[in-house]
Structure 1
Amino acid sequence: MQPLPLLSGADPTRALDAIFVNAPLRDYGQRPRTNDYTLPVLGMAYIATYSQRAGFNVAVLDAEAHGLGIVETAELVNAARPRWAAMNLLAPTYEMSARIAAHLAPDIALMVGGHHAKAMPDRILADPRMANLRTLVLGEGELRVAALLEDEQRRRELPGVLWRDPLLGTRAAGIPSGKPNPQMLGPDINALPYVNRAFLPQDPYQAAPTETDRRLARNRGTDLLKNAARTGHREANIVGSRGCPYNCTFCGAAVSANPDLSIRVRSPENIIGELDQLHAEYGVTAFRFVDDLFLGAGRVIDEQMAAFTQNRIGERYVWDATGRINVLNRLSDSELDRLVQNGLREVALGIESGSDRILKAMDKRIDAEMTERVAHRLVKHGIGVKGYFILGFPGESHDDIEATVRHIRNLWALADNSPGDIRASVFEFRPYPGTPIWTTLTDAGHSPDALLAYGDVDLTSDGADETMRQRDEFNFSVDIQFGDVPLARVRSTLATLTREQHQRNQATQGAAA
């Protein structure tokens, strides 16, 4: 057979059973991408790995990572002639996915899943561009996708699988015979194989040394950290859990939006096994936990850190993770010291706003004072903080947005004389179907079509140019003013804060040089 260009993980000597397609954020056939790196599609790689272990020849085509256009993506799939093309549907990229689907050869069956498929299945089933859609999989797909690759007719017996009846044009659904197997909807994540990184074109990757690496080398002084300060780490992304117990109103992972999803945490032994495998196979020494729960529950933190200490993880690796401010607020200084000793490099925190009124509307269960206290304690212990912020949230006033600007600058000031740094990453609010705030907005009269009209935001007129280079995948908007603050001011504030963060980064790099 011919080589399969840009298709990751497939055996080129065998016919393809499926290509898993990650749609580009934009049609890069019209404008080249500016990001040097985009997050890997770990969920898609988990499904591809499981299918591969079940004996199927599958590939991942990450059109975003490769900067592909709509037509080019479809042509690559058509040329490879798989039995199935499978897509992970997300609201900001749905239009890209639908346009790719419309270009696919009619003899290639289409399978879809993802947050958007779960939130709006009937809308997707009715989309004429999805004419060859044969299965829509709700929720976690490893076991059901492998079953469908074995025999499409199994869709009639699988839970959480939908399709369009070809005669009636109505929704059809699988009806399990007997008692449904709960593993079909929520597999045992400790029993799943480790992700085959051959499916991920950008993970693991070689990271350049950062100011955080240099700070750690000065403050912790191990050979690992000193080497990383000179050459950077080999890094990989990893998932430690599935599900989130919180209900942030803007988040697709909100517990109220996923009542079918059981919250599961991988065992420490299972996680450490993957860390060691990635180190042995790829030389990885830095890991990023991208799930919601790794530092989001006290019991989980205690269990994982006991195992990390026993296995001397902090002597061998560094790692970053997302964290919950209210949970970290309850940790003692000795518990923070244990995180440091076990290799914690940076925590990503959903700070979101400096206004307590907006934080309450978001159901964040924190306030600005708690955020400052937690961030200050973390950086004093030498742990970096990456704070995420949202501007333009529904109901946000001019005073609220000013409170957020002050909050970010206060956090920067806390880091100025501390061993750890604080970085701010600021976004314009955009609604996602299936989230609590989506229901609030549609109940208030907003049209779903208008809420789904995602488009690019060009911030260069506000003086943001090179400062926005690595944010190409985040600058999306539905172009609706949801609060009291005009969008022009929301965007100019976002650009100002991003530019100030970029200047801080440049200043610390210059000082280190």
Structure 2
Amino acid sequence: RCAFCNFTKDRRLMFIKRLDRLVEELKIVSARGVRFIRFTDDNFRHGKGDLNDFSRRIIQENISVKWMTMVRASALERVDFELLRASGCIEVLLGLESADPQLLANMNKNATPALYARVVEQLMSVGIDVSCYFIFGFPGETAETVKKTRNFIRRIEFPELPGTLSWALFPFSVAPLSPVYQPEMRRKYGLNGYMDQWAHDTMTSKEVTGHIERVFNALEHSCPIYRNDHLGMLHDDLSPAERKRFFLARHRLSKKAISKKLSRNEIMETFAHAFRRSN
């Protein structure tokens, strides 16, 4: 597991739900009027490799739901992305964490920035939105690795594609039960502290906040993840281009709000301008 993660799993109690059962449950909730479904597994179908079969079954059974899920990038390498979109997939969440290969190795992430970029582009090219998690400040992080991740996010914004990139920028936390919390890894990285107060050989928790704020302000063609949006409005009432303009207008306002209080007129005019461009 990832070195920063404190999820505990008893693999004796874990199982992958049979595809037939999962499809039947989707039919039941769809019949009750549910239109949006978010699968909360941290790796949908546990990387079983049957996402294409799952997508085909949704189409064949005429299950009219839109769905979202978290999955590992490596589990998407042999996926038919057009099929995934046709089945109703509207968002995929990926735990990318960093664009520095050494940091990814420190985190025990078995992936590469090249894989991440390829998967993100393929998803967004068919109109599937991509949400990404990034962690800043893990042992080995420096100002240069932060810049590398910032520049990577800029490269995968792909403003010309129908999908939209969103992200959450998390500060590293020394979480109990995580591998990096253990004495051996603490000694390896010179790591001291607990939860959100820490220091190691290459960065401190006081420094990481400024790095995250600078990354936040540097990104122009993507936006933060918002989980309380009205999904019906976003995906039924707005076109992909309108949805993207809405997200980016909100992000511009968020950046302004860091340094000043926004007026109601400024907020309304920003959103009005975003939608006026579509007419």
Q: Does 1:249 align with 2:3?
A: yes
| Aligned position for 1:429 | 172
**Alpha-carbon distance in 1 for matches of 2:181, 2:50:** 31
Q: Which has the higher helix share?
A: 2
| Aligned position for 1:268 | 19
Q: Does 1:512 align with 2:275?
A: yes
Q: Does 1:347 align with 2:92?
A: yes
**Alpha-carbon distance in 2 for matches of 1:267, 1:432:** 33
Offset of residue 409 of structure 1: 1.4
Offset of residue 320 of structure 1: 0.6
For normalisation by structure 2, the TM-score amounts to 0.72
Q: Is the 8 A contact 1:358 1:396 kept in 2?
A: yes
Q: Is the 8 A contact 1:292 1:323 kept in 2?
A: yes
For residues 419-474 of structure 1, what are the alpha-carbon distances to aligned partners after superposition, in whole Å with 9 as ceiling and x for unaligned?
10111211001122222222244555767xx42xx4xxxxxxxxxxxxxxxxxxxx
Q: Which has the higher contact order (CA 8 A, sep 6+)?
A: 2
RMSD over aligned Cα atoms:
2.6
Q: Does 1:293 align with 2:43?
A: yes
**Alpha-carbon distance in 1 for matches of 2:118, 2:201:** 28
**Alpha-carbon distance in 1 for matches of 2:60, 2:36:** 19
Letter in structure 1 aligned against 2:23: I
| Structure 2, gaps ≥5 residues long | 225-246, 253-269
Relative to structure 1, the CA distance from residue 346 to residue 277 in structure 2 (aligned partners, 3 Å threshold; closer, same or farther) is same
For normalisation by structure 1, the TM-score amounts to 0.41
Sequence identity (%): 25
Relative to structure 1, the CA distance from residue 390 to residue 270 in structure 2 (aligned partners, 3 Å threshold; closer, same or farther) is same
Aligned residue for 2:50, secondary structure, equals: helix
Q: Does 1:485 align with 2:196?
A: no
| Structure 1, gaps ≥5 residues long | 1-246, 455-476
**Alpha-carbon distance in 1 for matches of 2:167, 2:201:** 22
| Aligned position for 2:105 | 360
**Alpha-carbon distance in 1 for matches of 2:90, 2:39:** 11
For residues 29-82 of structure 1, what are the alpha-carbon distances to aligned partners after superposition, in whole Å with 9 as ceiling and x for unaligned?
xxxxxxxxxxxxxxxxxxxxxxxxxxxxxxxxxxxxxxxxxxxxxxxxxxxxxx
Aligned residue for 1:420, secondary structure, equals: coil
Q: Output aligned runs, 1:323-338, within 5 Å.
A: 323-331=71-79, 335-338=80-83
Relative to structure 1, the CA distance from residue 381 to residue 322 in structure 2 (aligned partners, 3 Å threshold; closer, same or farther) is same
| Aligned position for 1:228 | none
| Aligned position for 2:162 | 419
1:277 to 21, 28, 40: 28
**Alpha-carbon distance in 2 for matches of 1:434, 1:294:** 23
**Alpha-carbon distance in 1 for matches of 2:40, 2:131:** 13
| Aligned position for 1:311 | 61
Q: Does 1:495 align with 2:258?
A: no
Relative to structure 1, the CA distance from residue 483 to residue 368 in structure 2 (aligned partners, 3 Å threshold; closer, same or farther) is farther
Offset of residue 294 of structure 1: 1.4
**Alpha-carbon distance in 1 for matches of 2:97, 2:175:** 16
